[in-house]
Amino acid sequence: MARRKYIAGNWKMHKTVGEAVALAKELVESLAGCPHKLMIAPPFTALSAVASVVKGTPILLGAQNMASVEQGAHTGEVSVLMLKDIGVRSVILGHSERRIIYGEKDGLINEKVKLALKHGLEVVLCVGETLEEREKGKAEEVVTTQVTQCLQGVGEGDLPMITIAYEPVWAIGTGKNATPQDADAIHKVIRKVLDTLYRPGTGETVTIQYGGSVKPENARELLTMPNIDGALVGGASLKKETFVPIAWFDR
């Protein structure tokens, strides 16, 4: 079965509640009838308000992170139970900014992945190599390790709830996107890894997004590659003028 294209916007640490609601309203209007799966991930403070805007529309509400445990003495953390309570359906985990700035390792990300799945949240699991790793020829090895460790203990039955986002760190927020061919090649590697972790053929069933300086100008050539099933968009997701043409890349 053909995999459906999936376009997601990661708003990172941008937008007040008012700004987030305004953008969400514009997106609901402009993306009505878009054939692709859509998700937006506003900051925590705006999730509740944006939930009311996207409720009953095809735009899924996502969070950008969550704690690895359900509740307790974890100052500053946000629980999966709280996210579910306000209508969040998906969570981005293992983003390179979480890995690099906040020191999140594959083991912790794996705990979060399993907890999200336990509570029925979809997961966008981010993986990707740094520039140094790529220059040393280690991109495939790094991504293979991340996928393997982050999915440890995740059953095949849960894979429809998981999207993998290949986001080379050197391409995030830098304006330098991976070439469509380079990105496609890594996506193919990820499918092979899934074939070894699960049953042969499993890789073909999993949605794999590309992320890293996706913009209206390059969306079409990236998103029409055979192994690229969508995009996780950062900077260009902050404005209707740039996110909408990406979501409608094939119109």
Positions touching ligand PEP (CB under 6 A) are: 10, 167, 172-173, 211-214, 232-236
User: Least Å distance between CB 236 and ligand PEP?
Assistant: 6
- Please name the residues in contact with 111: beta carbons below 8 A apart, sequence gap of 6 or more: 68, 69
Q: How far apart are CB 69 and ligand PEP at their closest, in Å?
A: 25
* Least distance between ligand PEP and beta carbon 183 (Å): 12
Catalytic residue among 104, 122, 167, 187: 167
Residue 168 buriedness (CB in 10 A; 0-12 / 13-18 / 19+): buried
Q: Which of 52, 2, 9 is nearest to 31 (CA)?
A: 9
Locus of tokens 């991504």: 143
DSSP of 119-155: TT-EEEEEE---HHHHHTT-HHHHHHHHHHHHTTT--
Q: Which residue is it, tokens 């991976």?
A: 178
Decide whether 160 or 173 has the Cβ nearer to ligand PEP: 173
Active-site residue, selected from the candidate residues 36, 95, 104, 129: 95
Beta carbon of residue 244, minimum distance to ligand PEP (angstroms, whole number) = 15
**Among the listed residues 134, 135, 152, 158, the one whose alpha carbon sits nearest the alpha carbon of residue 193:** 152
> H-helix or E-strand containing 209?
strand 207-211
**Distance in angstroms (rounded) separating the CA atoms of residues 136 and 140:** 11
In the annotation, is 119 catalytic? no
Q: Is 167 a catalytic residue?
A: yes
Which is closer to ligand PEP, CB of 62 or CB of 211?
211
For ligand PEP, the nearest residue by Cβ is 234
Which residue's CB is nearer to ligand PEP, number 146 or number 157?
A: 146
Nearer to ligand PEP, 42 or 211 (CB): 211
Residue numbers annotated as active site = 95, 167
